[in-house]
Structure 1
Amino acid sequence: MRALIELLIQHDFLLIFLVTLAARIGAPLPAAPLLVVAGGLAAAGRLSGPSLVVAAVLANVLGDALWFVAGRVHGHRVLRLLCRVSLSPDVCVRQSESLIARWGGSSLLAAKFLPGISVVAAPMAGALGMGWRRFIAYDAVAGLVWTLCFLGLGLVFSDQIQDVLDVLANAGKWALITLGLLLAVVVAWRWWRRHTMARQQGEVERISVEDAAALLDQDMTPVFIDVRSDTGRAADPRSLPQALHIPLAKLPSQADQLPKDRLLVLYCNCPNEISAVTGARQLLERGHARVLALEGGLDAWEVIERRRAAAAPPATESLA
């Protein structure tokens, strides 16, 4: 621990920049606590405050810009990737969609302080077509506010932080072991929550894209319901044939307007079709007996559509 403190003192700009950049890209590194410690050291005159601010803001903008470009180029695929590795899949996408739809560029500021949404906000902004200048301006301000908040905590509680640093330095490896155990407890708790949610999802039946496509071929078209938000559809405009668009948040209020004598198939483009499963459960609770979630969602449907197109015989030109 003492070596870490000395490293921070010797390479303040570089260490703050690299750790913050890695955290913005998605690595599980404690950028915010490191800034608090750096603020405490700056209050004691051992580090340069302006240098810390420049390093952290620059790293914030650069890291977010990488995800912003990825969102503009690859759109919903990047969002699926981020939430697939998240311990709270789908929730992070829906919350970031809601933030950006409601607050626009200023949502980048709020996202800095919301775990799970922080990394998703930048690619979501890119996928929704936010302009470069607007993104850089808002993200730079958001990075500055985030940096000043945690450095300010270090400045305000500099005496207490110095005491904590002395204790940690004396504790040596036991301090690192304790921190590692705390991190393991947090990860285990969130893992348990994720798998508990997965077990609950198993209560809703799913239909494969092959079976859904077969129903179309047999003129037994189910009612497809797209439960994505308006923002989600803007980021990913794909759709199923003649699908109704009813966002998940509005589904309970419109449940009575849906036919109860037809098969309802809900879909989304989220990991493990969580939104579709949630909506299906809501409809089942409101008296709809034939409700299924589309397994694999839009991505699986796109795959089978490509297969069907490739297997279809080539069109022949009519002879004059």
Structure 2
Amino acid sequence: MAPPLPGPLAHLAPLLGHYGYWAVGVGVFVEDFGVPAPGETILIAAAIYAGAGQLNIVAVAVIAFVAAVAGDNVGYLIGRSGGRAFVHRWGRYVFLTPERFHKAELFFRRHGGGIVTVARFIEGLRQANGIIAGTSGMPWLRFLAFNTLGAALWVGLWATLAYVAGTHITTLYDEITRYQLYALIAFGVLAATLIARRVLKRRHQN
């Protein structure tokens, strides 16, 4: 029998009970190009079910990983082919407003390709990072490499934690998201330091 899902995950029980792996794949896939779907929470809920023997954790992780990479690549294609005008015209229908997109784009450009990996863990950037990479002209193979790494880390983290922690995962989730901002600031400081060192090194060489 499936365990009762805690707190904010409880509403996903009928979805997982009826559709199982399909819910995981579709939820993660569509979230990754801006559609307002609970991709991350579906992954966590499915891993809890796997810990209770209702689903296979390897299947959950593989499906979520493939869906995450594919979804972000759809976003990349949208950004690459439609560009900023497409996002400004249609993005509001999936809660990607021009203001939200502009802020995400500035952040993306400031931190370069590495942010594609980190973006997977940041609400807002997770849904927009493929589109932003496409509009900014990042080479597809470079995007694919960073995106694949980010998807593997993201799926690995939440699938493992939820599988092991079970219904206690919401406590861990709250703690992790609480410190997410601090981790992001630390990443920004590190990136700025590396850029400054590179600039100074070039000046000395010239």
1:28 aligns with 2:39: no
1:6 aligns with 2:14: no
Paired with 2:149 and 2:123, the residues of 1 have a C-alpha distance of 19
User: 2:117·2:147 contact (CA, 8 Å) conserved in 1?
Assistant: yes
Aligned partner of 2:81 in structure 1 is 73
> Relative contact order (C-alpha < 8 Å, sep 6+): which is higher?
2
Equivalent pairs, count: 158
1:18 aligns with 2:29: no
Deviations 1:125-172 (A, max 9, x none): 1122111111111111111222122213312321546xxxxxxxxxxx
More helix by share: 2
Cα 1:158–1:140 change in 2 (3 A) is: same
Cα 1:3–1:123 change in 2 (3 A) is: closer
Q: Secondary structure at the match of 1:154?
A: helix
Structure 2-normalised TM-score? 0.66
Amino acid in the other structure paired with 1:34: I
Paired with 2:102 and 2:117, the residues of 1 have a C-alpha distance of 17
**Paired residue for 2:69, among 61, 66, 77?**
61
**Paired residue for 1:109, among 117, 120, 131?**
117
Amino acid in the other structure paired with 1:92: R
Paired with 2:119 and 2:66, the residues of 1 have a C-alpha distance of 17
Structure 1-normalised TM-score? 0.44
1:46 aligns with 2:54: yes
Q: Secondary structure at the match of 2:59?
A: helix
Please, which runs of 5 or more residues in structure 1 have no aligned partner?
Answer: 162-320
Deviations 1:172-214 (A, max 9, x none): xxxxxxxxxxxxxxxxxxxxxxxxxxxxxxxxxxxxxxxxxxx
The alignment yields a C-alpha RMSD, in angstroms, of 2.4
Deviation at 1:73, TM superposition (A): 1.6
Deviations 1:68-110 (A, max 9, x none): 1121122111331355346573442233223322322221223
Amino acid in the other structure paired with 1:6: G
Paired with 2:103 and 2:87, the residues of 1 have a C-alpha distance of 12
Q: Which has the larger radius of gyration?
A: 1
Paired with 2:109 and 2:167, the residues of 1 have a C-alpha distance of 42
Name the % identity: 25
1:118 aligns with 2:126: yes
